[in-house]
Amino acid sequence: MLVGVDRNLIYLLLCFSFSFGLKAKTTSLGEVPQWSDLDIFQESITRSEFIHSLDTVYCPRPEWWSAWISIKEDKASIRKFPQDDDWYDLYFKKDEKTPSSFTKAKSVSTNLRGLTIALDPGHIGGAWSAMEKRHFSLNDDQPVKEGDLALAVAKNLVPALKDLGAIPVLVRKKAEPVTQNRPQHFREVAVEWAQTVLGEDYNNTEKKNILIRERQELLFYRVDEIRARADLINHSIKPDLVISIHFNAAAWPDAEKRELVGRNDHHILVNGCYMGGELAYDDQRFELIWRLVNRWSVMEQGLAESLSHSFSQVTGMPTFSYKGPNALKIGEVPGVWARNLLANRIYRCPVVFLEPYIANSLSVYPRVQKWIKEGEGNTFDLVSEYTEAVLLGLQNWSAE
């Protein structure tokens, strides 16, 4: 959920941020990938499956990937570093009948019993919500904090998922960051970045100080926080699936005079749609290939479709459609889209990312206020309804 006009600014801030190692180019606070980790996937996927997955999920435009991935008859070669003729060769499985040297990483399980599900409540909430720009207030009403709503849904899901035989684990248990770092930790890298971005303008003290502060905060709540969650998920929880819980919001039609919007809808995201500029980063290129060869999109799409159906059924909300190139329509179910986000790229398992409800809409805002005042259990309760939709989606998916 992002209210206001700063979505583009944040995107620009993130895009400008890269660090050069010896010859590597990685996203903010990212690590140089170990391409040899892909060795276990040699001859595990056919040429046609690789191309199909690239086209329909991960990168729909050849002009976005052609500088980075070269598809030959027997292999896909992936450029390891920018401006360098050093490629990783991923050999294709010869045909369907040839036994693979690779034993399929994890067959797609749709049985909820014994399935470890990491519940990732989006953002931090609490005292941090204003800094992370997931916070708004109208008149004298209580402020709306996306992180707090998301945590309430996640906590609500825990006992219900246990009842279904699943093993739910909360990635965040309270309105505090998972990372131990704080904005001041990123002072040095923010100063360095501001010098590059501002150039001669760096002498403008006011401008410089604002930019450095915002950069430090962004690296804390947006980048390092997600990387800390990825550490927890990838190395401790090791789930079969991550469900990222969010509430959406619309830009204010008039930032000066805030008025609730008429629109209310939902959509579900899977990982995919890596754009050309994003593939220029070594770590993003690696993650794309890693997710593709693990075939995680199969599970992500199946579950996302079931969840979109269940949100339609339980809430009556229509689906949202993207207009720009940063999202790709996946499959036939209207509410399911692919986007490349840090929080669905670096978690090493299938991830579905839920974006229901427009929190600053005429129909949802009063329900949020009611939830803040009365908590759960009332008949109009937004958090209980969200929980019900997720449970129904999971149950229908597992029954397929």
Residue in the shown chain whose Cβ atom is closest to Zn ion: 246
> Does 145 help bind Zn ion (rule: CB under 5 A)?
no
Give the nearer residue to Zn ion in terms of CB position, either 176 or 374: 176
Give the nearer residue to Zn ion in terms of CB position, either 150 or 391: 150
Region of 54-62, 84-92, 239-247, 322-330 interacting with Zn ion (CB under 5 A): 239-247
Region of 34-42, 114-122, 228-236, 275-283 interacting with Zn ion (CB under 5 A): 114-122
Q: How many CB atoms lie within 10 A of CB 8?
A: 8
Region of 136-144, 243-251, 257-265, 274-282 interacting with Zn ion (CB under 5 A): 243-251
> Does 1 help bind Zn ion (rule: CB under 5 A)?
yes
Alpha-carbon distance of 61 to 165, in angstroms, equals 41
How many chain residues bind Zn ion (CB under 5 A)?
3
CB of 151 to Zn ion, least distance (A): 12
CB of 364 to Zn ion, least distance (A): 14
Region of 1-9, 43-51, 88-96, 271-279 interacting with Zn ion (CB under 5 A): 1-9
How many CA within 13 A on the CB side of residue 266? 27
Give the nearer residue to Zn ion in terms of CB position, either 53 or 340: 340
Integer angstrom CA distances of residue 180 from 175, 185, 220: 14, 10, 10
Give the nearer residue to Zn ion in terms of CB position, either 24 or 230: 230
CB of 182 to Zn ion, least distance (A): 21
CB of 353 to Zn ion, least distance (A): 9
Residue 389 near residue 307, CB atoms below 8 Å: yes
Ordered DSSP codes for 16-59: T-EEE-SS-EEETT-----GGGGGGGTT-SBHHHHHHHIIIII-
Task: List Cβ neighbours of 54 (8 Å cut-off, separation of 6 or more).
Answer: 65, 69, 292
Give the nearer residue to Zn ion in terms of CB position, either 150 or 169: 150
CB of 235 to Zn ion, least distance (A): 24
Among 121, 122, 147, 302, binds Zn ion (CB under 5 A): 122
Task: Please report, as a single letter, which amino acid is at residue 391.
Answer: L
Give the nearer residue to Zn ion in terms of CB position, either 28 or 344: 344
CB of 332 to Zn ion, least distance (A): 26
Give the nearer residue to Zn ion in terms of CB position, either 197 or 228: 228
Q: Which of 183, 302, 318, 303 is nearest to 248 (CA)?
A: 318
Task: List Cβ neighbours of 273 (8 Å cut-off, separation of 6 or more).
Answer: 57, 58, 59, 60, 326, 327, 328, 337, 338, 339, 340
Alpha-carbon distance of 300 to 352, in angstroms, equals 6
Tokens, residue 335:
């509410």
CB of 174 to Zn ion, least distance (A): 17
Give the nearer residue to Zn ion in terms of CB position, either 1 or 3: 1
CB of 147 to Zn ion, least distance (A): 8
Alpha-carbon distance of 22 to 29, in angstroms, equals 15
Q: Which of 180, 185, 181, 221 is nearest to 10 (CA)?
A: 221
> Does 246 help bind Zn ion (rule: CB under 5 A)?
yes
Alpha-carbon distance of 216 to 213, in angstroms, equals 5
Give me the residues that bind Zn ion (CB under 5 A), please.
1, 122, 246
